[in-house]
């Protein structure tokens, strides 16, 4: 397959920026989680005075990190593909296998958006206990919808580019 040297279109650039923002947010959340856990350890074992907010903050951060990492994996095409088997196939069948993979991801992302939206709706009035600021569980669970939307867009981008011969 010949490499296409045309500059990326506006949608690809926008999705690239969303991937960058997702990765930056993931890095910030890793730092927040590490600091929260460190504070919890120092307070619990150093001062025998455990706090409630650091555990909740670390847990929420780790949940967001997991969803954002899965989203970044879809965009960078480092997801559930079994590459060692697929690369032995002829080019057409490689595209078929990649299409099946991205259609499965697309189905998962759509289910994630729907169930995440339902979960957000059910928990929007449930406050997160232990935070130093007001937050609802619906806000914490919003990452599932955000991740589902981005996974959907990224999978569609991969499918279109692949079948247009650009990947």
Percent of the chain with pLDDT over 70: 90
Measured distance CA(30)–CA(10) in Å, rounded: 30
Helices (H) and strands (E) in the chain, counts: 5, 0
Q: Residues 95-150: pLDDT tens digits?
A: 888 888 889 989 999 999 999 999 999 998 888 887 777 888 888 899 999 999 99
Percent of the chain with pLDDT over 90: 33
At 9-56, the pLDDT tens digits run 788 888 888 888 998 999 999 999 999 899 999 988 888 887 878 888
Amino acid 5: pLDDT = 62
Has this prediction a pTM greater than 0.85? no
For residues 71 and 147, is the Cβ–Cβ distance under 8 A? yes
pLDDT tens per residue across span 78-87: 665 566 677 7
Local confidence band at 68 (pLDDT 50, 70, 90 cut-offs): very high
| pLDDT at residue 1 in the model | 43
d(Cα 40, Cα 17) in Å, to the nearest integer?
A: 34
């Amino acid at each position: 397959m010949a490499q296409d040297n045309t500059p990326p279109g506006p949608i690809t650039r926008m999705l690239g920026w969303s991937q960058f923002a997702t990765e930056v947010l993931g890095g910030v959340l890793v730092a927040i989680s590490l600091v929260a856990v460190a504070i919890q350890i120092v307070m619990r074992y150093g001062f025998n005075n455990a706090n409630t907010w650091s555990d909740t903050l670390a847990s929420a951060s780790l949940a967001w990190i997991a969803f954002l990492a899965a989203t970044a994996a879809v965009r960078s095409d480092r997801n559930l593909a079994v590459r060692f088997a697929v690369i032995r196939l002829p080019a057409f069948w490689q595209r078929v296998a990649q299409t099946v993979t991205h259609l499965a991801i697309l189905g998962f992302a759509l289910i994630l958006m729907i169930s995440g939206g339902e979960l957000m709706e059910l928990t929007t009035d449930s406050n997160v206990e232990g935070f130093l600021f007001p937050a609802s569980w619906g806000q914490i669970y919003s990452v599932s919808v955000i991740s589902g939307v981005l996974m959907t867009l990224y999978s569609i981008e991969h499918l279109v580019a692949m079948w247009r011969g650009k990947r």
